[in-house]
Amino acid sequence: MSSRILAGRYELLEKIGDGGMAVVYKARCRLLNRFVAIKILKPEFTKDAKFIENFRRESQAAASLSHPNIVNIYDVGKEGNINYIVMELIEGEVLSNLIKNSGQVEWRRAIEITKQIASALSLAHKNHIIHRDVKPHNILITKTGVAKITDFGIAKALNTSTIGDNTGTVMGSVHYFSPEQARGGYVDEKSDIYSLGIVLYEMLTGRVPFDGENPVAVALMHINEEMIPPSKLVDGIPPGLEQIVIKATNKYQVGRYASADEMVDALSNIEFVTNIVGNSVFARAKSPTGIDEEYEGEEDENMGESGNSKKLKKGGKDKKGNDKKKYKLNKVKVLAVIAALICAIPISYLLVSAFTGGSDANELTVPNFKGMSLEEATLDAETLGLEIEKGDLVFSSTYEEGLIVSQNPEAATKVKEGKTVKVNISKGAKEGTVPNIVGKSYSDAIYILEKYGYKKGSVTAAPNDMPKDVVISQSIDAGEEATAGSYINFVVSEGKSVEEVTVPLVVGMELNAAKEALEKAGLTFPSAADLVYERSDAYGQNQVMWQQYEQNKTVTAGTEVGLKISLGSDGEAVDPLAPKSVSLNINYSAAKNEIFYLTVVIADESGTHNAATAEMRRKSDESETITLHGTGKGSVTVTFDNDQVQKYSVDFTTGTLN
C-alpha cells in the first residue's frame, strides 16, 4: 500500500489484520523510529459518540496496565474521523491460528499459556478493569513463546458474534462468554475466569465446548448444558487439569476460582506435582455434576469431524436403545438471552425475526453495504446468513477505490436466508473527473487529490458542526471534469463557534457556593489537587480569598478558574468537596435461600468496583449495614445469588442515597 502518515508521525506500511470492528496496520513511528501496530476503528462505528467515548476511555484505562503478558498500548488518538490505538507490534502467531493449525495444544504448553494470561488478567482486575472478551483471537504468542492478551480497549465494543449485558453494552464473544453474560446479568472478574476456562478447554481439545446454529442456541448451552469433559475427547489429560477446567467454567460465579491468582496457583500445582510423580497422584476426575463416576454425557450423532454439535436434540432413543437426555428450553432464560441480543446487537435481523413471531423466520432484511470493503461486507453478510458476490469494477467519484458502490438487492429489501447480494466495486474516479473529498479529514483530502492527479488549492476554515479540519465543501464538485494538475480549493470546518462566558465574583464565598457559581457560569472548578490553601486573617476558613480571573472578564466556556482558599488564621486545609462515605442498609428478606451470596456493586465517576463480592450470608441474620465509598454520582446495585434485589442512586459528594 502507499505510505500514509497518521497524526504526523505514524507511517502506515501494510495491513496485517482485519476484524469485525477495526483494521490493524503495521506502521513506523517516525518520532521514535520503531515499528508499531495501529488499530483503526472501522467507519461504521465512528458515528456513535457514546461508543467512541467508551472506546477511548477503555483504551486509556488499558494503557495504564504494564505487564509482560499484556500488549502495551502506546497512544490513543483521533485524526479527523479516524479513531486509532497505537500498540506494541507483536511478531508471532494468534492463538486461534495455533489451535486451528495444530488441532490442539499439548497440555503442558496449554497450562503455561493459561497461567500467563491469568497473570495478566489478575493485574487488570486489581485495577478494576474487566476484559469481557477473553478468547484465542485476542491472545498473541510471540516467537519466543510468550503469551500476550490484547483488545482491553475494545472489549466493550460492538461485534456481530457477541451478546450484551444489562446496560446494553456488548460484552464477550458467543463461544467464550459466561452464563451471566448470556443472561444479560452482572459481569465481574469471574466472567473473565470463565472465558479463560473455555480457552483452556479449546487448547486441550481443539474445539469449543458449545456450538450451535446461531448465537441464541450457543447462549442457552452456556446456561443449561454441561460440557463433555476434555478427557472424553483427548487422551492423556491429567484429571487434576480437567478439574481446573470444570471449576473455572462453573455455571455460577461463586463456584469458580475466587481470583485469577487462585487459578494460577492451581495450574502451578498441577505442573509441579505432575512433573515430579506423574498423573497417578490425581484422583479420577469427577463428572461436571460433581459425582465421582464416569461421565455419561451424550455426543450428538449430528456432530461433524470437529465434534461441534450442529443440532439440538429433542429426546428419543440412541442407536443402542438407551434414553437420550432431553433438551428443555427454560422460557425465562430464552427470553433473557433474546432481550440481551436485541438490545445489544441491532445488526441481528435474523434473530429478531426468528424469535419475535415474524411471519417468516427465514426472512432477512438486506443491510446497506455501500461504502464497505468487500471483506467487511462478506463478514457482515455471513453473520446474517447472506452471500456476497463480487460484481463489476466501476468508476466512482463518491466512493474510494475498493469500496462498494452499489448492490442488488438494495438495502432494506426483504429476502430469504442464503440470498446472494451482488455488489459493484469502485475503481476510483474516472480519469479527468474530480474525486469527492467532502467529509474527509484535511490530510485525507490532500492524499486523495494527489492520488487522482490534482493539487491542493487554497484552504479556508469556517464554523461548522462537523469536526475540526474535516472538509465541508470543495470548489469543483465530485464527478465534474477537470484537467489533470488543476488546483482544487476546499473549505474545512473550524469546529463549532467558540462560546465565551463572563467570570463571576466568587471571592468571599464558601467553597461549595463558589463551585456552584462557577459551574453555573459555564466555567470549570479546579480539582482538589489544584486548590491552593493559605492562612488569612481577613477571610474565614474555606472562604475563597483570590480568584485567577477578575469579575466580568470574558473567557472561553469551560475555562478552569484557579482559586486560593483561606485556612483562617491558624487552620489546616480541609476539603469540603472530598468524597463522603454513604451507609447502606441491606435487608435479607428477599433472599430465596437460607445461605446465599451477597454482591454489592458501585458504579460511579471513577468506574465500577465492588463493595462486596459473592460473600456468604445467612437469611436468618435479617439485615446488615455497610459503608460505601466512591466518587461523584452513580448507582449501587445489591444482588443475592445473582438476582438483583436493590438498586439506588448515590451521590458521594453530598453523601446521599436515593
Positions marked active-site: 133
Helix (H, G, I), strand (E, B) or coil at 619: helix
DSSP class of residue 154 equals G
Query: Which three cell numbers, joined as nine digits, stand for 4?
Result: 500514509
Q: Which of 541, 608, 617, 630 is nearest to 186 (CA)?
A: 608
Those residues whose C-beta lies under 8 Å from the C-beta of residue 375, and which sit 6 or more positions away, are 18
Separation CA 124–CA 193 (nearest Å): 12
Interhelix angle 239-248/260-277, rounded to 10 degrees, is 170
Q: Within a 10 A sphere around the Cβ of 278, how many other Cβ atoms?
A: 10
Asked if residue 409 has a cis previous peptide bond (ω within 30° of 0), the answer is yes
Nearest to 506 by CA among 498, 494, 518, 496: 518
User: Order of strands, edge to edge, in the sheet holding 487-493?
Assistant: 455-462, 487-493, 471-474
Grid coordinates in use for 382?
A: 455471513
Reduce the DSSP state of residue 623 to 3 states and report it: strand
- Alpha-carbon distance of 534 to 554, in angstroms, equals 27
Of residues 647, 637, 643, 646, the one with CA closest to residue 597:
643
Q: How many angstroms separate the CA atoms of 358 and 364, rounded?
A: 11
* All cell numbers assigned to 651: 451521590
- Residue 429 phi/psi, 5-degree rounding, is -70, 145
User: Can you tell me the distance from the alpha carbon of 59 to that of 67, in angstroms, rounded to the nearest whole number?
Assistant: 15
Instruction: Show Cβ contacts of residue 443 under 8 Å, excluding neighbours closer than 6 positions.
Output: 5, 79, 80
- State the cell numbers at 43: 467507519
Q: How far, rounded to the nearest angstrom, does the alpha carbon of residue 160 sit from its chain's CA centroid?
A: 13
Count helices and strands (H / E) in the chain.
13, 31
CA pseudo-torsion sign 425, 431, 432, 437 = positive
Q: In this structure, what DSSP letter does residue 320 have?
A: T
Q: Which residue is listed with cell 451482488?
A: 422
Phi, psi of 238 (to 5 degrees): -55, 135
Q: Closest Cα partner for 204 from 102, 93, 92?
A: 102
Q: What is the DSSP letter of 372?
A: S
Cα of 501 vs its chain's centroid, Å: 38
Q: What are 357's three cell numbers?
A: 413471531
- Rounded Cα gap, residues 619 and 621, in angstroms: 5
**C-alpha span between 480 and 500 (Å, rounded):** 41
List, in sequence order, every residue forming a beta bridge with 77; answer none if it has no partner: 84
Q: Which of 101, 88, 91, 185 is nearest to 136 (CA)?
A: 101
Reference 334, options 217, 226, 253; nearest CA is: 217
Q: Which amino acid is at 190?
A: K
Longest dimension (CA), the chain: 96
| Ramachandran class of 339: left when φ > 0, alpha when ψ lies in -120 to 50, beta otherwise | alpha
Pairing relation of β-strands 363-365 and 414-416?
antiparallel
